């Protein structure tokens, strides 16, 4: 494989389209400085994907486009193409010629293509992987690449070796596999979080589902029973209404008959009453005269009765007074006798009380004498106890002090011995410390001088580093922020995509239809989509549209009604539930009338709801059908004005989701805080996609700037790190010496003080020990004496307590006897008081009986006088009474005849009235019964209407529709069952009716995620196997190829230098991560660091390494950009000769000023600027 030609158009100074034919062998590019020859090298870098404008010697990527001259205008784009011959199929492709092109516009847009087919930069990098071509390869070598190979860190240098070893594509695949593995693990973690959350929901949802199933079963059974109950009650009411109508008719006939009878009886009563009225006047006159006589008769009888009663009363009183006089005399005699007996008993009690009082006085004197002796003894005992406690406290204090002194004596003895030993050791330590101080003083001076020199070098490097790091930190923060936003948006976008893909929030029937339709293409073709997914609603109208459509958002849009029919059959066949369809060609579209559109100009009116929605034309009929007669308004006030103006002819919905239906029904209130609505999902997904794309562009731009800044920082860091490492090592060594010196000086300075202190401490310890021993001896004598005194006090205390106990016993016996005597005295006093009270009562009763006897005698005398007067008055009244009785008897006979005639008439009237009343009562009963029948009929009709209303309100059924539910209805048993079901439902409390659907959805999601997790775990395991296999193959390949490169490098170095030695050495550690050290020893020089070689030696060493790599893994093209510039004439000749040898098998492009290099070229291109700012190419075949 080799490069055939390079095509340039508008790239840097190549304004016009240029073509450079590259033949086999060596192609040279020469020209004066500034002619544009290095632009050819830049063109190769650029077309192969270089992203750094700095590496292309510009400030921005647009600098590679021809920028114009005084006579030429600038170009809007540039392009470069490389055409390779792939006849040997080194690149696995179906083409024998491969063209790689990059085109860039001044707007910043960049295009890549392979064989004129658009592609990504990644595709070009992958195409040339492990061929030596590319950023990490060795196909384009300039002074910068040589410096990068020789001066970079050992770990960074290994990339070019991996390219030469042909393992870069495996490393890329490994890194990609590791990224995929990381993403897989992240997905597993995310799924685990979701699974954990779903698992926490399953158990309560399952419980709620079971409750919901029980509730639904009970509700269905209750529905069946209640419908049959309503039907049963409705039919019973109908039967009772029919029976009631028959009763009303019978009642009306009976009412007519009884009214005629009442009228006949009323006429008969009127005739009798007229006759009775005349007779009644005569009777009244007779009765008036009779009444006067009767009244006089009664008056006289009353007076006579009063006199007789008064006489009888007087006789009774006289008889009673005679009996009471004997009783009073007997009471007086008995009470006088009792008073005498009670006086004797009181005298006896007084004598007994006086005797007890004398005995009590004697006992009290004895108690006072004993109590005085006991008080003196108690005081003596208290004094002795206080002395005992005081003696005990003194004795304990002395013993405690003795123990402390003995312990202190033992401690001082041990301390004295330890101090003597420490003083001996200290003397030897002082001598050694003085010798060490002198040695450390000399070392400190030497290290201080070296540290000062290194610190100055480090400060210079640190200043250069600070500026680069500050800019890098700022750009890094920007990149991290953009990356974080991209990651957040991608996560949200993926979550939203999953929700939309799984049709979360839709009815199970809709969800199941779309899932099953994936496996039924003939069904899926007929579905235009669910309404929420095929319409676009502006964000501000989402709330009113979503509220007014409600469940209609889940309607499925189809074209023909036959399509809906086929899909319904599919649903029924697969038992997927019920779905509502909108066949666009069959819908009767509804719009506002012309006169109704005039209302749209009213204040507060936004628009017709259907006009706010964007959708495909084929979907428009469905939108107009649902929303063509719905108007969106600003608020409820605007809605009310609009609906009143339009006479409630259409629907109005506010921006807050409240709405008014035709006819005036208003619905509104607060909306629940729900998750993302069906309408907003699509909009949010589009917004997230746009945000991601915009942030990715921003991230790439910041990344390019960050990369350029990092390169500057790395160069500054490299210079700073070298100085810093050496300075740190020096400072550590110097600090250690200074620390040791300071410690030694400090220790030596403290030695005299420590010695004096040890001597003083030893002397003080011995003096204190002698004093303590003397104190212990004195304390022993004092303790013995205090013990003897304490024992004597204890004996004295016991003797006093024994005497006190004896006196206490005597006192107690005397007090018990005194209490008994006092109790006897009290009892005698009580008995005496009772006798005195009884005697007083007896004297009072005798005096009262005497007074009553005297009063009774006076009363008897008065009564005898009144008795004589009463006898005379009675005789006069009897004479008057006999005359009156005779007149009454005559009047009574006349009145009796007239009364008999009146009674006869009254009997006839009463009979007629009774019959009339009976008939009237019957009539009233008939009227009452009629009203009762009518009221009952209305009640039954209302009951029937109520049962119809209940059927409609509770279950949406008319009577006719409800008949399909009709079954046999045993009333008592069914009512009992209804009450039982209602009780069960009440006991269940609040039930989530959506729990069955929620549980099914969550369970399906949970099971699906478990399967996904298993797949991810398996995929992760497979990826790990791939990574392990790639790593194993890379290690083997790199180890083998590195050995060959090392061998070739040694031989090539020897050939180019005419001797010497060079080799490549891998650092310790993992062969896939360790750095590569270059060891070069030119002839006549000792083995040394490569950084100490001259510029020419470095360049020739790098060239030797390049040629060694080309021998192992030849690159299709190798461009050498003035790498021979640092070489002297002799080395240029060696370089040219070796290059000519390699050109037999390889293709080279050499940009050079050196004649030996020009001399070996097979083809020579000259670059010149005949027009200022525009490069021209001249070809010479040698």
Q: Does 474 have pLDDT greater than 80?
A: no
Tell me: the pLDDT tens digits for 1000-1039?
888 888 888 888 888 888 888 888 888 888 788 888 888 8
Q: Any known ligand binding at 550?
A: no
989: left (phi over 0), alpha (psi -120 to 50) or beta: left
Q: Are 507 and 530 in contact (CB under 8 A)?
A: no
Cα–Cα distance, 1114 to 1099 (Å, whole number) = 20
Joined tokens for residue 1182: 């040698």
Burial of residue 526, with CB atoms counted within 10 A of its CB: 0-12 exposed, 13-18 middle, 19 or more buried: buried
Of 41-50, 475-484, 674-683, 1141-1150, minimum mean pLDDT range: 674-683
pLDDT tens for each residue of 325-348? 777 677 777 777 777 777 777 777
| C-alpha to C-alpha distance for 44 and 3, rounded to whole angstroms | 11
User: What is the pLDDT, as a whole number, of residue 369?
Assistant: 67
Averaged confidence pLDDT in the chain: 78
Name the percent of the chain lying above pLDDT 70: 75
* Between 663 and 6, residue with greater pLDDT: 6
The annotation status of 1021 as a binding-site residue, yes or no, is no
pLDDT value for 675: 44
Confidence of residue 636 (pLDDT cuts 50, 70, 90): very high
Q: Is the pLDDT of residue 633 over 90?
A: yes
Q: What is the pLDDT of residue 412?
A: 62
Mean pLDDT is highest, among 618-632, 828-842, 889-903, for: 618-632
Q: At what angle do helices 971-988 and 168-501 cross, to 10 degrees?
A: 140
Pairing of strands 556-558, 581-583: parallel
Residue 677 is classified by DSSP as -
38 assigned ligand-binding residue: yes
CB distance 535 to 553 below 8 Å: no
* Per-residue CA distances from 735 to 440, 749, 1044, 1061 (Å): 12, 21, 47, 40
Q: Mean pLDDT highest for which of 105-109, 261-265, 772-776, 917-921? A: 105-109
pLDDT of residue 746: 64
How many CB atoms lie under 10 A from the CB of residue 1137? 13
**Any binding-site annotation on 35?**
yes
pLDDT above 90: residue 753? no
Task: Give the pLDDT score at 396.
Answer: 59
Judged by DSSP in three states, 556 sits in strand
Q: Is position 33 annotated in a ligand binding site?
A: yes
Residue for token digits 């670059």?
Answer: 1167
Q: pLDDT value at position 556?
A: 94
Report whether pLDDT(877) > 90: no
Longest dimension (CA), the chain: 199
pLDDT at 674: 47
Residue 807 in tokens: 């006196």
Q: Which residue has the higher pLDDT, 1081 or 439?
A: 1081
Please write the tens of the pLDDT for every residue from 286-295. Answer: 666 766 766 6
Q: How confident is the model at residue 401 (pLDDT cuts 50, 70, 90)?
A: low
CB 1154 within 8 Å of CB 1132? yes
- Phi/psi class of residue 1173: alpha, beta or left (left: φ > 0; alpha: ψ in -120 to 50)? left
Phi, psi values for residue 50, rounded to 5°: -60, 130
Q: What is the mean pLDDT of residues 87-113?
A: 88
Q: What is the DSSP letter of 1123?
A: T
First to last CA, the chain: 23
The answer to whether 31 is a known ligand-binding residue is no
Confidence of residue 84 (pLDDT cuts 50, 70, 90): very high
Query: Would the pLDDT of 400 be above 60?
Result: no
Enumerate long-range contacts of 381-386, CB under 8 Å, 24 or more apart.
Answer: 381/797, 381/800, 381/801, 381/804, 384/793, 384/796, 384/797, 384/800, 385/797
Output 258 or 870, whichever has higher pLDDT: 258
36 annotated ligand binder: yes
Measure the CA–CA gap between 764 and 945, rounded to whole angstroms: 120
- Check pLDDT > 60 for residue 403: no
Q: Which residues pair with 20 in a beta bridge?
A: 6
All structural domains of the chain: 1-139+1116-1182 (3.40.50.300), 508-578+593-649 (1.20.1060), 1000-1114 (3.40.50.300)
Contacts of 184 (CB under 8 A, 6+ apart): 1016, 1019, 1020, 1023
Q: 632 Cβ partners below 8 Å, 6+ apart?
A: 541, 544, 545, 605, 606, 607, 608, 609, 612, 652, 653, 654, 655
pLDDT at 80 over 90: yes
Average pLDDT on 436-456 reads: 71
**pLDDT tens, residue by residue, 210-262:** 888 888 888 888 888 888 887 888 888 888 888 888 877 887 777 787 877 77
257's CB contacts (< 8 A; 6+ apart) are none
Q: What is the pLDDT of residue 618?
A: 92
pLDDT at position 225 is: 86
Q: Which helix (H) or strand (E) holds 254?
A: helix 168-501
pTM of the model: 0.38
Task: Choose the weakest-confidence range: 45-49, 279-283, 368-372, 1011-1015.
Answer: 368-372
Is it the case that residue 658 has pLDDT exceeding 70? yes
Residue 833 labelled as part of a binding site: no
Most confidently modeled of 196-205, 514-523, 1079-1088, 1095-1104? 514-523
Mean pLDDT on 783-800: 70
- Alpha-carbon gap, residue 1116 to 594, rounded angstroms: 78
Q: What is the mean pLDDT of residues 380-387?
A: 66
Q: Can you give the pLDDT at residue 234?
A: 82
pLDDT tens column, 797-853: 677 667 666 666 666 676 667 667 766 766 766 666 666 666 666 665 666 666 666
Closest CA to 1111 of 132, 47, 43: 132
Residue pair 783/395 in contact by the 8 Å Cβ criterion: yes
| Higher per-residue confidence, 614 vs 740 | 614
pLDDT confidence of residue 748: 63
């Amino acid at each position: 494989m080799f490069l055939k030609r390079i095509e340039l158009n508008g790239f840097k100074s190549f304004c016009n389209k240029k073509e450079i034919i590259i033949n086999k062998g060596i192609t040279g590019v020469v020209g004066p400085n500034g002619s544009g020859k290095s632009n050819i090298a830049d063109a190769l870098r650029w077309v192969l994907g270089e992203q750094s404008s700095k590496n292309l010697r510009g400030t921005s990527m647009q600098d590679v486009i021809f920028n114009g001259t005084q006579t030429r205008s600038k170009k809007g784009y540039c392009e470069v193409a490389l055409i390779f011959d792939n006849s040997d199929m080194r690149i696995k492709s179906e083409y024998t010629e491969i063209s790689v092109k990059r085109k860039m516009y001044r707007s910043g847009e960049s295009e890549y293509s392979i064989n004129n087919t658009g592609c990504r930069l990644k595709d070009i990098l992958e195409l040339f992987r492990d061929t030596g071509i590319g950023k990490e390869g060795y196909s384009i070598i300039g002074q910068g690449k040589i410096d990068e190979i020789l001066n970079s860190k050992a770990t960074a240098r290994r990339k070019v070796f991996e390219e030469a070893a042909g393992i870069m594509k495996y490393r890329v695949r490994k890194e990609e596999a590791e990224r995929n593995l990381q993403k897989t693990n992240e997905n597993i973690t995310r799924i685990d979080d979701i699974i954990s959350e779903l698992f926490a929901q399953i158990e309560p949802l399952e419980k709620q589902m079971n409750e919901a199933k029980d509730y639904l079963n009970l509700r269905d059974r209750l529905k069946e029973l209640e419908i049959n109950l309503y039907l049963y009650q409705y039919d019973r009411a109908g039967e009772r209404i029919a029976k009631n109508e028959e009763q009303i008719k019978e009642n009306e006939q009976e009412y007519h008959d009884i009214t005629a009878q009442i009228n006949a009886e009323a006429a008969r009563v009127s005739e009798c009453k007229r006759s009775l009225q005349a007779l009644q006047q005569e009777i009244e006159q007779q009765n008036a005269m009779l009444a006067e006589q009767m009244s006089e008769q009664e008056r006289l009888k009353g007076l006579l009765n009063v006199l007789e009663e008064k006489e009888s009363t007087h006789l009774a009183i006289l008889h009673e007074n005679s009996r009471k006089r004997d009783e009073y005399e007997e009471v007086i005699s008995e009470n006088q006798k009792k008073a005498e007996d009670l006086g004797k008993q009181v005298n006896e009690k007084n004598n007994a009380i006086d005797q007890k009082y004398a005995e009590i006085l004697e006992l009290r004197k004895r108690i006072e004498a004993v109590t005085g002796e006991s008080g003196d003894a108690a005081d003596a005992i208290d004094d002795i106890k206080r002395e005992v406690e005081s003696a005990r406290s003194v004795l304990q204090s002395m013993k405690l002090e003795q123990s402390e002194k003995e312990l202190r004596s033992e401690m001082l003895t041990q301390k004295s011995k330890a101090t003597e030993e420490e003083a001996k050791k200290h003397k030897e330590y002082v001598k050694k410390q003085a010798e060490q101080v002198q040695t450390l003083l000399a070392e400190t001076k030497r290290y201080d001088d070296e540290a000062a020199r290194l610190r100055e070098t480090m400060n210079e490097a640190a200043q250069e580093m600070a500026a680069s790091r500050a800019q890098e930190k700022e750009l890094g923060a920007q990149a991290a922020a953009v990356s974080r936003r991209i990651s957040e948006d991608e996560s949200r976008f993926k979550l939203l995509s999953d929700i939309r893909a799984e049709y979360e929030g839709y009815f199970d029937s809709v969800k199941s239809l779309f899932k099953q339709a994936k496996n039924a293409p003939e069904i899926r073709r007929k579905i235009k989509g669910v309404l929420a997914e095929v319409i676009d609603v502006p964000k501000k109208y989402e709330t009113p549209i979503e509220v007014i459509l409600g469940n209609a958002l889940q309607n499925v849009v189809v074209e023909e009604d036959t399509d809906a029919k086929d899909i319904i059959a599919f649903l029924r066949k697969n038992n997927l539930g019920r779905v509502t369809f909108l066949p666009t060609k069959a819908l009767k579209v509804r719009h506002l009338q012309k006169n109704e559109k005039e209302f749209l100009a009213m204040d507060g009116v936004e628009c017709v709801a259907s006009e706010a929605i964007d959708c495909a034309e084929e979907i428009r009929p469905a939108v107009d059908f649902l929303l063509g007669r719905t108007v969106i308004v600003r608020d409820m006030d605007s809605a009310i004005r609009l609906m009143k103006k339009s006479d409630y002819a259409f629907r109005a919905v506010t921006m807050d989701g409240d709405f008014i239906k035709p006819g005036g029904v208003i619905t509104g209130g607060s909306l629940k805080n729900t998750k993302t609505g069906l309408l907003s999902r699509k909009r949010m997904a589009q917004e997230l996609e746009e945000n991601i794309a915009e942030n990715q562009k921003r991230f790439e731009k910041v990344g390019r700037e960050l990369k350029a800044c990092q390169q500057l920082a790395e160069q500054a860091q490299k210079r700073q790190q070298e100085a810093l490492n050496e300075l740190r090592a020096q400072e550590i060594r110097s600090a250690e010496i200074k620390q040791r010196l300071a410690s030694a000086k400090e220790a030596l300075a403290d030695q005299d003080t420590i010695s004096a202190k040890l001597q003083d401490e030893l002397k003080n310890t011995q003096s204190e020990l002698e004093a303590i021993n003397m104190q212990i001896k004195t304390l022993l004598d004092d303790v013995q004496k205090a013990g003897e005194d304490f024992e004597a006090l204890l004996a004295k205390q016991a003797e006093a307590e024994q005497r006190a106990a004896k006196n206490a016993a005597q006192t107690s016996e005397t007090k018990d006897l005194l209490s008994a005597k006092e109790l006897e005295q009290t009892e005698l006093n009580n008995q005496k008081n009772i006798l005195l009270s009884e005697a007083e009562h007896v004297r009072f009763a005798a005096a009262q009986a005497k007074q009553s006897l005297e009063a009774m005698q006076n009363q008897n005398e008065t009564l005898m006088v009144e008795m004589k007067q009463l006898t005379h008055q009675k005789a006069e009244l009897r004479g008057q009474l006999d005359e009156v009785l005779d007149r009454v008897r005559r009047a009574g006979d006349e009145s009796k005849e007239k009364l008999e005639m009146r009674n006869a008439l009254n009997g006839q009237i009463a009979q007629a009235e009774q019959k009339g009343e009976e008939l009237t009562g019957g009539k009233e009963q008939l009227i009452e019964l009629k009203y009762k029948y009518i009221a009952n009929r209305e009640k039954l009709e209302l009951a029937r209407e109520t049962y119809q209303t209940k059927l409609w309100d509770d279950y949406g059924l008319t009577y006719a529709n409800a008949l399909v539910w009709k079954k046999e209805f045993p009333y008592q048993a069914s009512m009992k069952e209804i009450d039982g079901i209602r009780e069960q439902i009440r006991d269940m409390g609040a039930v989530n009716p959506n729990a069955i659907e929620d549980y099914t959805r969550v369970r399906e999601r949970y099971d699906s995620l478990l399967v996904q997790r298993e797949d991810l775990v398996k995929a992760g395991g497979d990826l790990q196997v791939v990574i392990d296999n790639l790593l194993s193959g890379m290690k083997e390949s790199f180890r083998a190829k590195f050995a060959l490169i090392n061998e070739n490098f040694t031989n090539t170095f020897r050939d180019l230098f005419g001797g010497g030695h060079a080799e490549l050495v891998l650092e310790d550690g993992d062969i896939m991560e360790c750095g590569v050290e270059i060891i070069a020893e030119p002839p006549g020089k000792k083995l040394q660091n490569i950084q100490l070689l001259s510029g020419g030696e470095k360049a020739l060493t790098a060239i030797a390494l390049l040629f060694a790599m080309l021998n192992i893994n030849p690159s299709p093209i190798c461009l050498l950009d003035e790498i021979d510039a640092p070489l002297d004439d002799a080395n240029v000749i060696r370089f040219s000769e070796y290059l000519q040898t390699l050109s037999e098998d390889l293709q080279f492009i050499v940009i050079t000023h050196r004649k030996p290099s020009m001399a070996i070229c097979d083809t020579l291109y000259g670059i010149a600027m005949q027009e200022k700012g525009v490069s021209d190419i001249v070809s010479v075949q040698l």
